[in-house]
Structure 1
Amino acid sequence: MSKSKLKNWAKVGLLSVLWCGGLGQTPAQDAESQSAALDRLPKVWQERVHRLTREEFEATLSFWAEKFAPTLTVTKLGESAEGLGIFQIEITDTLVPDTDKQRALITALHGGPERSGTTACLHLIEWLLGESPEAVETRRKQRIRFIPVPNPYAYFVTDRFGNSLKIDPYTGGGVANWDLKTVTFKALDRSPEIRAVIEAIDDFQPEVHLDLHGTGLQ
């Protein structure tokens, strides 16, 4: 076999192995390992899994604020119609002046039924509090604010998109609730969740806003 043919054969063989999910695995072995991984996941359709409660969430925020001050601060932006708190978390290196820092806002506006958006927010907060070179550099160069549970009624009570007055903080409840000429929301009295997010954006003026979503529970 010529060297060129041997090289081509080796490339095809390597790609085939990688396509199977890892060195030394056949397609059957790869399928078996994937099946085993799926079997280890919680089966929420068979047995109810624990979901984060409001008490656990607020206790976590208090723990973070105490342990990681002044790097992390917690601010209460407002309350739902039921009196459930809407909280904002900021992370930055306070030893570095804010003058030239980038401003990033991360939310989970559908965090009621789409719980993985909120989960991603909380995991990112934990990562940013770590000592990896990337986390340290991010804290030095950015101010990052999080609103992981903008709609506490949906997240902790119903697992549905809207608040108790059926307004979805992500959509605003439809075009009728917006003044499109002035780009203002007309139903703030019926959506303290939207009021909290809008005021947070106006105050912070983020250069980037990332809204995390996920698979709905419906």
Structure 2
Amino acid sequence: MLRLAMTYTRFGKLEESVDACQRALELARRSRNALALAYGHQCMASSYNASDNFVESLQHYRAMQVQARAAGSRLLEALALSGQGGVVSSQGDVARGDAMIRQASGLYRAIGLPFYLSASLYAEASQARMQGDLPRAVRLLDETVATYQRLPNKTGQWWALTARAGDYLSLKKLAAAEEDLKQALAIARDLNLPLYLSETERQLGKVDAARGEFRASL
């Protein structure tokens, strides 16, 4: 049922997704199993979030966290915190959303899940960027890039490199931005994904433009 709901969400069939999640949650309630309830609330939260129903989404993420604790699942608790942080931040309370995502990162680190941690650090970097703290965003992405180099994940590394390049560009560190984008371009070519290629080339153009503006100001 949960997989069916996520499939509906991926194809934009949001009403069908919510309906499938409601049936999954009802089954979980009948079972009175905390783990099943946590997954049921996660399904509801994700489906409501996809349909921009943020109030309902937040309520279900909170319920998911309660059930995750009851089930003793730190992973699901971290995912619930990440979900809450994203929703709260999107509603304008970036500082509180950032705090929740940091909590999630701490749990992923304690459990020892590097890929979950890397995704969470990427989210933290986005929160730092929204708060104007670009040096912190770069530090967080440094760890993300290092993890993807140690435990190869080319798609994740492309996202981390292009994000860090954007932060370097904003900080006027053009050589560092260009180096990240050259690595990202090599990954995009290796993956043979036109969207990644065009986006990387677009960002390289922004670096060239910034370099030209800098020369013109001398």
TM-score normalised by length of structure 1: 0.25
TM-score normalised by length of structure 2: 0.25
| Bigger proportion of residues as helix | 2
Q: Could you say which structure has the larger radius of gyration?
A: 1
| Bigger proportion of residues as strand | 1
